[in-house]
Amino acid sequence: MLLLWRSRCLGRALGRSLRALRQGNCTLARCSLSGVAGSQGLAYMNSRKLVVNSSSVFTVRYFRTTAVHRDDVVTVNTPAFAESVTEGDVRWEKAVGDTVAEDEVVCEIETDKTSVQVPAPAAGVIEALLVPDGGKVEGGTPLFKLRKTGAAPAKAKPAAAPPPPAAPEPVAAAAPPPAAAPIPTTMPPVPPVSTQPIDSKPVSAVKPAAAPAAAPPGEAVPSKGARSEHRVKMNRMRQRIAQRLKEAQNTCAMLTTFNEIDMSNIREMRAVHKDPFLKKHNLKLGFMSAFVKAAAFALQDQPVVNAVIDDTTKEIVYRDYVDISVAVATPRGLVVPVVRNVENMNFADIERAIYELGEKARKNELAIEDMDGGTFTISNGGVFGSLFGTPIINPPQSAILGMHAIFDRPVAVGGKIEVRPMMYVALTYDHRLIDGREAVTFLRKIKAAVEDPRVLLLDL
């Protein structure tokens, strides 16, 4: 009997707990018992001690918690920026009242170096925008309020097609057919033929004349050929690019030296090994990896090109590592992600790093850390068909290599005129630090390594 009584008491307690847990958004009740005696019952009162049969004292405690409501309103703050970035401009992708799914981009924050996307933490509806479009924000600034709905917004179902119109009822009595016309017995007269030439046009050339759109009342209609202009605010990235390039012109004593590279051997090597390279590494073999590796080889041979002047302390900082910035053009502006420790990479490692950074740049997913640093820059204007150009130094670096398009040109080879695929290359350097001898030697080192990649293997 004692065991049966205890089981019944515990059964009642579990039943009440389960009934409380079944309530979705209502209050959850959890009961905790501090003591159970042999033959005494349980009385569920308001958190107090009960004396049953004057032999035992029971303490009934209730822990009440509120379930997370689906319509909670949360405030989303600006994510933390990198140390070199203090503020950014907000550009809204959504408006008040728009429904968003979890991780859907609500706004972008344009900084000096990149754009930071701010996603929705959960599915819901935009309650309020706390910062105007184009407003400046810092890390931790409240951006918008989101009312959670607990699920992604359902797509609107297409409207059902209207039912077909009902068939008309048959007429009770059909109208009698008209009387047949008399059959003609003579040919109709032939019209006279015009002696003027006929101006024929194809049917596709005959188009209906469009009626001119009526201008709104009180608005002047622009005349044909009128010249107009409009203004667009520069984004922060474009402003920063303009500022840095002008600083480079004002600070560095820039000088450019040129050379040309015969691309015959590297093109033949690529044609022979591109398929096995793709099969093994799942990457396309391009020319950029050869130039990046050749630049790292030349930077180790001429370490002054890899150095930089510290204008604050008036010292020359020599770097024992090679981090090469690769310029990538994006719709928002020019970005220069960094391939780090190139001196320890082979062609496959370089191609993989460039591919990953390029994909992140095109998807606007570059982080500040991807573009910080860099000891040397390579800019490839040849992808746009550039024949010749003088690149501008990317401060605080001391030199930049400009690649250009490959064109077949007649050149003298062994006393004979031959047509070879040639590329012009340009090295712009800071003449305050780098003399002409080091600059020309550096560029010739790149020329030798690209024209004959065996130079890299033999360390010549």
Q: Active-site positions?
A: 431, 435
Q: Which two tokens stand for residue 344?
A: 């320890």
73 CB-near residues (< 8 Å, 6+ apart): 127, 145, 146, 147, 148
Ramachandran area for residue 282 (φ above 0: left; ψ -120 to 50: alpha; else beta): left
Distant-in-sequence contacts of 219-228, Cβ < 8 A, 24+ apart: none
Count of helix runs (H) and strand runs (E) in the chain: 8, 21
Q: What CA–CA distances, in Å, run from 238 to 162, 293, 370, 400? A: 53, 30, 18, 20
Cα–Cα dist 129/146, whole Å: 9
What angle, rounded to 10 degrees, do the helices at 288-301 and 436-451 form? 140
Neighbour tally for 113: CB within 10 Å = 24
* DSSP 8-state secondary structure symbol assigned to residue 342: G
Tell me the CA distances in angstroms from 348 to 275, 277, 293, 373, one per residue in order: 13, 8, 11, 23
Residues 6+ apart with CB under 8 A from 240: 112, 113
Q: How far apart are CA 181 and CA 165, in angstroms?
A: 37
Q: How far lies 333's CA from each of 142, 327, 370, 439, in Å? A: 28, 10, 16, 29
- Residue 389 phi/psi, 5-degree rounding, is -170, 165
| Burial grade of 223 (CB within 10 A; 0-12, 13-18, 19 or more) | exposed
> Smallest Cα–Cα separation from 401: which of 360, 345, 450?
450
